[in-house]
Amino acid sequence: MTNSVHTNTAAAIALQNLTRTNDRLGDVQNRVSTGLKVQGAKDNAAIWAIAQGQRADIGALSAVKQSLDRATSIADVALSTGESVSDLLNQLKEKVVAAKDQSLKTQSRKLLDADFKALLRAIKSAVDNASFDGGNVLNGSLTNGIRFLANAEANAFVTLSGKNLSLGGSIIELSLSDSLLTLTGATTALNKLDDSINQLNAALGELGAQAKQITAHNGFVSKLMDSLEAGVGNLVDADLAKESARLQALQVQQQLGAQALSIANSAPQIILSLFRGG
């Protein structure tokens, strides 16, 4: 190798090696600080694009889960109200059957009728207030029910059917116009009440099945989101144990590179000894 003060090949090589080490060290430090091995498209365009697509799906599924959570809440309110109405119908039956007693005096019938009307008003109040976030599937206002998102493409839905539990409707046939003041009125009320109980049980059974489906689908969406997030992590997350080992190794290489460059830079000083007198 030629000894020259103009060209120091050893120093140039040492500098190149040190620069490469510093670049690699910077990359590792970025991965350690962010926890990501693929931070952007320039790191790995294909992997980054796949990860971004999965992140979009996760975001869409988050909206689906919010919709299903709302569906669950509306269904829970509806079922709770329906069960309360069922209990009130059972209490009504006690009053109506008591009114079938032919030996009742007028005053007793009036008291039974007052209780009968009070229970009917309680049913009406419960149905009118069975609302969550503006959604009431029991008062007959939503004849087609409510549809909720079921997938990330927003082209599939789950439906919560609307039921009309209003007084005098197709399910609760009793109304405030019914009366227990006469034996005939009590007989009519009992027939309507028996029909109402059977129809309400069928309606609540259907709502319960739909609520169960919504809950199951919500659980599936949650698991799917977890799986997608894990998949994205597998693609872009850094293995911090390996990065820690690389970081320590590169720090040692950096120190050695700096020393090598220092030695290479001091080489021209040797030329001075060639020109010293004896």
Structural domain spans, the chain: 9-35+238-274, 45-236
Distance of alpha carbon 111 from the chain centroid? 51
Nearest one of 81, 74, 82, 79 to 135, comparing CA atoms = 74
- Spell out the residues 6+ positions from residue 110 whose beta carbon is closer than 8 angstroms to its own: 181
Is the distance from CB of 176 to CB of 167 less than 8 angstroms? Answer: yes
CB count, 10 Å around CB of 63?
A: 12
Using alpha carbons, list the distances in angstroms from residue 67 to 148, 169, 191, 208.
6, 30, 41, 18
Give SS3 for 268: coil
State how far the Cα of 123 lies from the Cα of 82, in Å rounded to an integer. Answer: 9
State how far the Cα of 138 lies from the Cα of 84, in Å rounded to an integer. Answer: 12
Instruction: Considering the domain delimited by 45-236, tell me its CATH architecture.
Output: Up-down Bundle (1.20)
Is the distance from CB of 125 to CB of 81 less than 8 angstroms? Answer: no
**Per-residue pLDDT, 10:** 76
**Per-residue pLDDT, 242:** 82
**Per-residue pLDDT, 49:** 93
- Spell out the residues 6+ positions from residue 223 whose beta carbon is closer than 8 angstroms to its own: none
**Per-residue pLDDT, 37:** 80
Residue 102: what residue type? Q
State how far the Cα of 189 lies from the Cα of 116, in Å rounded to an integer. Answer: 10
Would you give per-residue pLDDT tens digits along the chain (278 residues)?
Answer: 566 666 667 778 878 887 888 878 777 777 777 777 888 888 789 989 999 999 999 999 999 999 999 999 999 999 999 999 999 999 999 999 999 999 889 999 999 999 999 999 999 999 999 999 888 999 988 888 999 999 999 999 999 999 999 999 999 999 999 999 999 999 999 999 999 999 999 999 999 999 999 999 999 999 999 999 999 998 888 877 887 788 788 788 888 878 877 777 776 677 677 666 55
- The pTM of the full predicted model, rounded to 2 decimals, is 0.76
State how far the Cα of 173 lies from the Cα of 170, in Å rounded to an integer. Answer: 6
State how far the Cα of 98 lies from the Cα of 40, in Å rounded to an integer. Answer: 78
